[in-house]
Structure 1
Amino acid sequence: MGRTATRELVVSDADTAVAVGSGSLPVLGTPVLLAWCESATCAALELPEGQTSVGTRVSLEHLAASPVGQTVTVTATVAYVDGRLVRFTVEARMGDKLVGTGEITRVVVDAERFMSRLGG
């Protein structure tokens, strides 16, 4: 536990609420912030070949706007592990300003077996 991963991303026009359809302003869209947080959780996991993880639960507070051109630093930290279940705390910052905070839960699965169960 306690393993972390950090990603630094720059807000582009494609990342804005207006671009992704989640609002009308040219600032970082909440769906993009969530994707960045999930990406950090994936980076924090070191899984053997053939294993992956799937998201099962998300709680995210988007606290501050981030304009195009700003760098947002996203950090995911393993907070809890129970077998295949891994819960992370996530935090996004723009410099010293807290942009978002939350919790993401992922479950480790065998990739081939998971896909075979989809049946289509």
Structure 2
Amino acid sequence: MTLAPGLRAKLLIMVEREDTAEKIGSGDVPVLATPRLLALAEQATVRALGQVLAPGETSVGTRIELEHLAASPIGTHVEIGAELTGVDGRRLTFAFQAQDTHAVVARGTIERIVVNRDRFLTRATR
């Protein structure tokens, strides 16, 4: 399958103590931590690629832009969706949005590069 704009994936989580800024150390409040939100957005981009990449290929994150717009306390259900919006050779651009039942929690873009997994790991361990 060819990589083309429109590939999508969603994740749904319920914010737990382990997801909070207080627990992760990025703040001192018991709400969904920005680093955790970013990890979930990246997870959605990886899920969107699913089985589309060729055998031996993977993607790695290279650029992120994130606006964290609203707090999500423990117990809140948050849906994180990512959509492939641009393909430029090996460079992939995703738009993502996270929302709970009340508001958009966050939005942003993530760029990933498609790489050969073995070559990438060889370079990473030099």
TM-score under structure 1 normalisation?
0.96
Q: 1:14 aligns with which of 10, 15, 18?
A: 18
Deviation at 1:84, TM superposition (A): 0.6
Deviation at 1:82, TM superposition (A): 0.6
% identical aligned pairs: 47
Deviation at 1:115, TM superposition (A): 0.6
1:62 is the counterpart of 2:68: yes
Letter of the structure 2 residue corresponding to residue 74 of structure 1: I
Q: 5+ residue gaps in structure 2?
A: none
Q: How does 1:49-88 map to 2 (within 5 A)?
A: 49-88=55-94
RMSD: 0.9
Letter of the structure 2 residue corresponding to residue 19 of structure 1: K
Deviation at 1:118, TM superposition (A): 2.3
Q: Deviations over 1:7-28 (max 9, x none)?
A: 1011110000000111010000
Give the aligned partner of residue 5 of structure 1: 9
TM-score under structure 2 normalisation?
0.92
3-state SS of the aligned residue for 2:72? coil
Deviation at 1:108, TM superposition (A): 0.5
The ranges of structure 1 where at least 4 consecutive aligned residues each deviate by more than 2 angstroms after the TM superposition are none
Deviation at 1:76, TM superposition (A): 0.3
> C-alpha separation between the residues in 2 aligned to 1:8 and 1:41?
14
1:38 is the counterpart of 2:79: no
> C-alpha separation between the residues in 2 aligned to 1:68 and 1:48?
39
